[in-house]
Structure formats: structure tokens, C-alpha cells
Structure 1
């Protein structure tokens, strides 16, 4: 209903302005020419009429709000009347009215135009901000793994490249850890796909609770996770990985086919820290190799190749 009222207001006011401008034009053309009123003046008035009408037509066709339109319409109309003050002298014999038109017509018009443009700019900024937030939300949804609620592997690759570029440019250090659920395929075969999905979702939530706000947690594979650790040296990354490993190893699981028994699952974690001039793919490969070594060494371990040290479960 409000939208229909806005459309009616715009069309009606524009129609009134067109009729009014036509009457003024006809009067100007049919009235005796004042010796002081030159051809240049007439052309100037005609151009003023054209541009004012053009702008009113533009805002009438726009999606501007009623607040914006009313201020601009009043402003352009007053400006139009003030600009044609000498023509109105031929019609109006009331000097007080003429004085008001001459003194305040154009200034008041510019005042209302300024208010209208201010609100228009404000509404455009708000609309652009909403569009930006919607775009960010859409991009985020496209980068989120629906099952785990973490970022997906495509986002991991993108962010890892950015982190490598930043580390090279500013000589910063960062690390990455890859987390693999031990014997995940056997868990799927024993308890089914639905329970394996619940396992992934619960482990993902656990990982988010045990990392820092600046860390970037992603789902890397079927039963794998990855966490980018900005501004993190090797030893700090190892300690954080060990904290995650311990937390996941004591998380109680009760799948339907366990007959009421509590199940515990462990993870193997590979950690790699960025080396100077290293590419993202090479860093990721080192983390994967470390993760495989942790699994081959008995599982439920944290390993990094930089020092060939293994953190065993306590």
C-alpha cells in the first residue's frame, strides 16, 4: 500500500509540474516582450525549465523514498519559480509576493534540494551496506561445510595462499595442523553413515572450542580437519595441537549401535610451520606427511617433521 501511495504521489506531482511549466511557457511566448528581456534571457529560462523538469523526471522514476522525493520536488520547484521571477512580474501585481519569490525562491529551493540529496545519499549508503553484508553472508555460506559448520577445503586453499603471501611479504611465521580421525572408515562401517556424520559435527565443535579466535578451522576431507594458525611458531603450534588431541580423545560418544556403551575416538595430528620461500602446496604436503607418520607410529599422536619429535599421549 505504501509503495502504491509513493507511485501515485510521484506521478501526480510530476503531472502538476508539467502542467505548470507548460502554462508558464505559453505565457512567456505569448506575452509582449519586455525590452529589458533579451533572447539570451529567454534561452536561459528555457534551459532552467528543461533541466529542472529533467531532474524531477529522473527522481520520479527512481526508487528514492518519499522523504527524498518530496524534498527534491519542493526544492526544484522553488528553484524553478525563483529563476523565473521576472516572468511572474507580468502576472503577479503583488509586490510582497514578488519580493518573497525574488529573495527566497532559489535559496529555499537549494535548501530543500540539499536536504533531499543528503537523505538520498544516506539511503544509498545504507542500501550499499546491506548489499555488502548480504554478499559477505553469501560468500561465507558458499565457503562453509554444511556438515561440520567449518570452512570447506576450497576456502582452506584460498586462505593458505593468502597466509603464505603475507608471511613472505612481512617476514611473519605461521603454522598449520591437519587432524585425521583414527580408524574413521571402521567407525562408518560399524555404526553407519548417520553416526559418522554426528561424529564429524561433534569433533568440529570441539576443535572450534579449543583453538583461538584468530585460527581458521576447516574440514579438509571425509574424516580430516585442518587449522591454519596465524602468527604461530612451531612449538606453540605443537602445544595447541596436543591440547586439541587430548580434548578429542576424551570426548564421549554414544552411537545407537553401541548398546549403551560409551565410545572414545582418537585423532592423529600433523603440524608444519612455514619456511621461508615455501609454497602453500609444499607446506600442506609436509603437514600431510607428518599426519601420516603420526598414524603409522601408533595413532593418537602429534608429529612435526621440523624437529622429528613425536608428542605421545599421556
Structure 2
């Protein structure tokens, strides 16, 4: 049993002890003890049980909750209910003169007031739990998604991309619709990594990933495929639209003034991109092979037809 919350409720236990002591002192002082023959032991045992149970409820509330409004309301409501039960229990052993008859009159008053207060407390407790549950769902979603994201870039991982690609292929086959895949490759990334180190390489990957995300639509899914390659799944998209998005991404990255450490000199990077339409007829591994072949062909065309510093976009369409 975890009793760590008890240290926050010492004042409440003190209040409870003071209330019980005061009631017992007042009733025993003003009342007259009944003869044994006048006692109804069956009622006494039943009322003693109820009185004890309310104390147990108070105890478990205080060891289960931190201090705060809800805890205080629950404590007040249960304490008032306990007062009624305690007065009713003591009434089995004492009778009061006409001057003290008010004790018997008020014994049933604290309980309904306490129940009203507890009802309010339970409402706020419900609201509290709804908020906690929402936070737990968000936390669980974060960790579930985090396990499927790439540590360096924050994009979805290749594993997650492959799962989503399989779903897109199935949906395309069922609904007779195509989707588009885009592959982006950072040019000469290996040389950059060797020259400036892995830490700068990771920073470049992160900034490149952010620029990719900034140029995508809400329905697009960006993933880090491998090393310096990124794949974007684009459902319900035409090849022309995907090429336009790819051009925007290329231009954004080409204008990124990447600075190494404390150096004021900017390093400008370029990427190669290609797009491919998929209709759901191939397995996902075949789709990835075709996409990689498309990238190799695009790079070959760039090497043969343009200088390395010229920004060129693949016009190939599957």
C-alpha cells in the first residue's frame, strides 16, 4: 500500500480527529447512558459498521489523492456523512434530556449536505480523470509514433513508410486509383559527411527534413528512406502536382545557407528528385525498386546533361 500522499494531508487528519473527539465529548457530556436492557444491539452493530466504513473511505481517499480542491471536497463530504453516522451510532447508547434534544434532531442533517458536496466533488473528479486520460492518450500516441520515427530527422522511419506504402497499394487496387511517390536525394552527401563529420551531416539532414515538411501538403507523408534519401507518399495526387511540389522543395533546399560551426561561410546544398505514379498493381518491394531505378536514371541524366551546380528536376513519369 502506497502511503506517500499521507504527508500532504496531516492537517485533514487533525481536523477529522478534532471533529470526532468533539462529537464524542459533547454527546457523552450532555447525554445519559442507557441501561443494557434498553440497547438494540442489532442496530448498534449495523450503525457501527456504517460509521467505520465512512472512516475507511476517508482514509483511502487521502492515501490515493494529492492535495487539492477535489480531495478537500471529498474529505468534507465524507466527514459530514461520518458525523451523521457517528451521532446515530452514539444515539444507540445515550438518550438526551429535553435541553439536549437538539443533538438527536441534527444527527440526520450533516449526511445530505455531505452527499451534495461529494456529488460536486465526484463531478470535478470525473472532469479531472477525463483530462488525465486525454493526456495519457496523447502521451501514448507520442511514444507509439516516436518508435516509428527517425531519430535524426524526426520524420517517419523507413519501416513506417513501408507499412503505409503497402496500405496505399491495397487502396489503389481496391478503388482503382493511383498515387504518387517522390524520392529526394541529397547530392554529394557522402563527401559532405567525410569533410565535416557526422554531427554536421545530421544537422544538414534535420534542416533538409524541415524544408521538405514546409513544402508538403497536409495529406502528404514524408519519411527518411535511407541515409540521405527521403520518400514522400502523395495520395490522390497527379504527377504534375507532385513535380511542382518537388520543384518547390529543390528550390527551398538550394537556397538554404547552411553554416558549419562558427563559420560565417555558407554551404549551399542541392538535391535530386524524381516522381513516380503507382496504380496498385505491384508489390511494395517492386515499387521501391522502380523508384530507386528512376532516381539512378535521373542522376545519370543530370551527370550527362548538366553541370553539378545547375538545379534540374526530373521530368520522367511512370
Q: In which range does the TM-score fall when normalised by the shorter chain?
A: 0.7 to 0.9
Distance (Å, rounded) in 2 between the aligned partners of 1:70 and 1:141: 38
Shift of 1:273: 3.5
TM-score (norm 2): 0.72
Give CA-to-partner distance per residue, 1:153-190, whole Å, 9 cap, x none.
Answer: 34433444555566667776533211112333244445
Shift of 1:278: 4.9
Query: Using a 3 Å threshold, how does the CA distance of structure 1 residues 79 and 176 change in structure 2: closer, same or farther?
Result: same
Counterpart contact for 2:51–2:89, Cα < 8 Å: no
The answer for the alignment partner of 2:52 in structure 1 is 50
SS at match of 1:217: strand
Query: Using a 3 Å threshold, how does the CA distance of structure 1 residues 98 and 15 change in structure 2: closer, same or farther?
Result: closer
In structure 2, the gaps of 5 or more residues are 304-311
Counterpart contact for 1:211–1:240, Cα < 8 Å: yes
Distance (Å, rounded) in 1 between the aligned partners of 2:128 and 2:16: 22
Give CA-to-partner distance per residue, 1:172-224, whole Å, 9 cap, x none.
Answer: 65332111123332444455555544543443232222222332222222211
The answer for the alignment partner of 1:32 in structure 2 is 35
Distance (Å, rounded) in 2 between the aligned partners of 1:156 and 1:95: 79
The answer for the alignment partner of 1:223 in structure 2 is 228
Q: Following superposition of structure 1 onto structure 2, how do residues 234-245 of structure 1 map, counting pairs within 5 Å?
A: 234-245=239-250
In structure 1, the gaps of 5 or more residues are 309-314
Instruction: Specify which of 249, 267, 274 is matched with residue 271 of structure 2.
Output: 267
Q: Following superposition of structure 1 onto structure 2, how do residues 37-186 of structure 1 map, counting pairs within 5 Å?
A: 38-83=40-85, 86-89=88-91, 90-93=94-97, 94-102=100-108, 104-139=109-144, 141-161=146-166, 163-164=168-169, 173-186=178-191
Q: How many residues align?
A: 297
Counterpart contact for 1:59–1:69, Cα < 8 Å: yes
Q: Bigger CA drift: 13-22 or 43-52?
A: 13-22
TM-score (norm 1): 0.73
Q: Following superposition of structure 1 onto structure 2, how do residues 256-295 of structure 1 map, counting pairs within 5 Å?
A: 264-276=268-280, 278-295=282-299
Query: Using a 3 Å threshold, how does the CA distance of structure 1 residues 127 and 284 change in structure 2: closer, same or farther?
Result: same
Higher relative contact order (CA 8 A, sep 6+): 2
Q: Bigger CA drift: 126-135 or 112-121?
A: 126-135
Counterpart contact for 2:176–2:279, Cα < 8 Å: no
SS at match of 1:212: coil
Distance (Å, rounded) in 1 between the aligned partners of 2:295 and 2:88: 88
The answer for the alignment partner of 1:205 in structure 2 is 210
Instruction: Specify which of 307, 314, 317 is matched with residue 302 of structure 1.
Output: 314
Distance (Å, rounded) in 1 between the aligned partners of 2:8 and 2:21: 20
Distance (Å, rounded) in 2 between the aligned partners of 1:7 and 1:82: 23
SS at match of 1:220: strand
Give CA-to-partner distance per residue, 1:51-103, whole Å, 9 cap, x none.
Answer: 2122112112112434233322222232233345554543544334432333x
Distance (Å, rounded) in 1 between the aligned partners of 2:80 and 2:37: 24
Counterpart contact for 2:50–2:85, Cα < 8 Å: yes
